[in-house]
Amino acid sequence: MKRRSVLGISLAALPTGRAIADGPALARTTADLLVEIDRRLENPAVLRGEFEQTKSIEGFKRPLVSRGTYVVARDRGVQWLTVQPFASTVVVTRERLLTLGQAGASRQIDTRQEPGLRAVNEMLMALLAGDVTALTARFDVQATLQGAHGWRLALTPRDAALAGFIARIELEGDRHVNALSLHEASGDASSIRLFNPASSGLSATEAERFGP
């Protein structure tokens, strides 16, 4: 499977990154800033909301724009439900990548046979959940605090399984992640806005999509 297509479908020490504080008098270490960012983030069992994704593909002039909803279930995975320009559902877990299209069409990939895809899946789960611990295990980090509630992370992969897919990532938010930019090694780039976050349990349909 080509690197671009894999990423397109899916969308323990702290590293020594460059620390950036929210004021010139605060020369905090990266570890200090990450602890503060983790404190600012909420960590509900299930988080859902809406998204707008703009994807720029190398060689194409016009970006692709898609909209829909998402569900992040801690320790289970992510469901990405695109409504526009056409309906599709992507289910990301550590064990598999499931794509559900129109008219019941589906495609499933077992990540045990695609170790690079497993790394990408785990990265996507950590990104959308704002799992700082998981992200620092795989990335060099530049951290910034923004005011009393905001934060920003710039991530460069250290993990060889990810470096072939991702060049860098920018992530920002407050209580939840609300924007991220992914720059792929292929030259493609995605900008994603997440909004209207809410915490609630999984529906029966959502639980069934994740599997046992």
The CA-based angle 63-130-114, given to 5 degrees, is 70
Domains in the chain and their CATH numbers?
Answer: 3-210 (2.50.20.10)
Predicted TM-score (pTM) of the model is 0.80
Q: Are residues 79 and 206 in contact, defined by beta-carbon separation less than 8 angstroms?
A: yes
Contact 155, 169 (CB under 8 A): yes
CB 98 within 8 A of CB 107: yes
Quote the pLDDT of residue 1: 45
| First and final C-alpha spacing in the chain | 26
| CA–CA separation, 51 and 176 (whole Å) | 13
Please name the amino acid found at residue 84. Q
151, 168, 190, 179: which is closest to 58 by C-alpha? 190
| Under 8 Å between Cβ of 128 and 72 | yes
Q: pLDDT value at position 119?
A: 81
Question: Alpha-carbon torsion 31, 43, 154, 93, what sign?
Answer: positive
Q: What DSSP state is assigned to residue 205?
A: H
Ranges of the chain with pLDDT below 70: 1-27, 103-105
